[in-house]
Amino acid sequence: MTTPLVAGNRITLLECGAEYFPALEAAIDSAQQEIHLETYIFADDGTGRRIASALCRAARRGVTVRVLADGFGARTLPATLGPALIADGVQLRIYRPEVATWKPQRNRLRRMHRKLVVVDQRIAFVGGINIVDDLDVPGEKTPRYDYAVAVEGPLVPAIRSAARRLWLWLHWADPGRRDTSPAPLSVPAVCGPVAAALLVRDNLRHRRRIEAAYLKAIATARDEIILANAYFLPGKTLRRALRNAARRGVRVTILLQGRVEYLLLHYAARTLYAGFIAAGVRIVEYHRGFLHAKVAVVDAHWATVGSSNIDPFSLLLAREANVVMENATFAATLRTSLLRHIREGGKEVAASDLARRSRVGLLFSRMAYSLVRVMIALTRYGGSEYRE
């Protein structure tokens, strides 16, 4: 099912934490009624303490503040920043708390990976940026490369509805928890030229909505596709769509993580390079820092920014949220940023580079891909997309 675009929004691209966190803190400090904040990671570092302090200030002045964090990504939050948040009146919930880290369980892969904030139904933030320092890797000097968007206008109520729906779902699952509902909020007026929609994926009705949006944009592309994704291991349908686009003359560039962050996914993804390059897809690895972006631009008018990687865990298991937009000005801004990072921090992978890979490296990549396929088969979701 296609999600209709909502016209009349002002959407601002925010690159990395240097742009995102000041905008987020300012929005929190201006809140008058309510704040919903969802994040996968909420770290006890300089950034985490800064945002936690802003949330506490809002709660102390009577704003309803709700924080939902993932039980794996933010597993230390209840013991670190959590007590201070709760003491100041912030309502804190943990999605699927990790209670037995040693015990293998299928549902442990179902994480709340969304990064979403709504303030007073006036402004919302959606993207891939967690509440964590950009430089959280010891010795790293280059900020993590990522994006979010600030949304103002008629789309904001849909984002608030998504956040509130998940919050209330957890409330029903734990009826003893307090839930203070704010007064009804006014609907934002038209304030910009961007038509946009919020796409969420869950394990119920919207399991393939984000993937379907990518497939539609790729299938209709005529000139160019630029896709940046930190953890990239698409199933057969998405791989075929990208290769077919390149074969019909579309310039397809995929910007991927060049550094090893998650060993399994990094090497599994490399098994796909040869097929893409043979079809005419340009593969660029980002080496300047750690890539965490999940964005795309198609034909200089369609764009998406969000939390969903193009790997089986994001597309099939995790709760995710992406904003899709149709607007030439926004798409041009994102495209310019992507091309700059490709130029300044990217290294294109050529067929000759693949030919020089060692037998050990090739074997390791194939083993990593096979292991991912086994893990997906065990979840019973989407296994056919990863059968060769």
Asked if the structure places residue 183 within a domain, the reply is no
Same domain? For 139 and 208 the reply is no
pLDDT in tens, 4-42: 999 999 999 999 999 999 999 999 999 999 999 999 999
Asked if the structure places residue 216 within a domain, the reply is yes
Which residue among the candidates 36, 70, 113, 311 is catalytic per the annotation?
113
- Provide the pLDDT for residue 362: 73
Count of the separate structural domains present in the chain: 2
Same domain? For 69 and 215 the reply is no
Full residue range of the structural domain in which residue 47 is found:
6-173
Same domain? For 344 and 252 the reply is yes
User: Quick one: average pLDDT of 181-204?
Assistant: 82
* Between 323 and 202, the higher pLDDT residue: 323
- 115 catalytic per annotation: yes
Asked if the structure places residue 180 within a domain, the reply is no
Same domain? For 27 and 71 the reply is yes
- Provide the pLDDT for residue 100: 54
Identify the weakest region by mean pLDDT among 154-158, 205-209, 293-297: 205-209
pLDDT in tens, 286-337: 999 999 999 999 999 999 999 999 887 777 678 999 999 999 999 999 999 9
pLDDT in tens, 351-379: 888 777 777 667 767 776 677 676 666 66
Mean pLDDT of the chain: 88
- 216 catalytic per annotation: no
Same domain? For 228 and 357 the reply is yes
Which residue among the candidates 36, 70, 120, 311 is catalytic per the annotation?
120
Same domain? For 154 and 225 the reply is no
Looking at residue 351, which CATH number applies to its domain? 3.30.870.10
Which residue among the candidates 287, 299, 301, 353 is catalytic per the annotation?
299
- 292 catalytic per annotation: yes
- 294 catalytic per annotation: yes
Asked if the structure places residue 249 within a domain, the reply is yes
User: Quick one: average pLDDT of 223-237?
Assistant: 93
User: Quick one: average pLDDT of 176-196?
Assistant: 74
Same domain? For 81 and 215 the reply is no
pLDDT in tens, 102-129: 454 545 567 999 999 999 999 999 999 9
How far apart (Å, rounded) are the C-alpha atoms in residues 45 and 41? 11
Same domain? For 158 and 222 the reply is no
Same domain? For 211 and 358 the reply is yes
- Provide the pLDDT for residue 174: 58
Asked if the structure places residue 165 within a domain, the reply is yes
Which residue among the candidates 115, 136, 202, 266 is catalytic per the annotation?
115
* Between 266 and 299, the higher pLDDT residue: 299
Same domain? For 156 and 211 the reply is no
* Between 206 and 195, the higher pLDDT residue: 195
- Provide the pLDDT for residue 104: 47
Look at the alpha carbons of 344, 13, 127, 51 in this order and tell me if their dihedral is positive or negative.
positive
The pTM score is 0.91
pLDDT in tens, 54-111: 999 999 999 999 999 999 999 999 999 999 999 999 999 999 897 555 454 545 567 9
Asked if the structure places residue 270 within a domain, the reply is yes
- 120 catalytic per annotation: yes
Percent of the chain residues topping a pLDDT of 90: 67
Which residue among the candidates 70, 136, 146, 292 is catalytic per the annotation?
292
Same domain? For 215 and 93 the reply is no
Asked if the structure places residue 186 within a domain, the reply is no
Asked if the structure places residue 46 within a domain, the reply is yes
Confidence grade of residue 225 (pLDDT, cut at 50, 70, 90) = very high
Same domain? For 214 and 84 the reply is no
- Provide the pLDDT for residue 71: 94
- Provide the pLDDT for residue 367: 78
Q: Is the pLDDT of residue 386 over 70?
A: no
Long-range contacts of 160-167 (CB under 8 A, 24+ apart): 160/36, 160/118, 160/121, 160/124, 160/185, 162/116, 162/198, 162/200, 162/321, 163/36, 163/38, 163/66, 163/68, 163/116, 163/118, 164/36, 166/38, 166/68, 166/112, 166/319, 167/36, 167/66, 167/68, 167/93
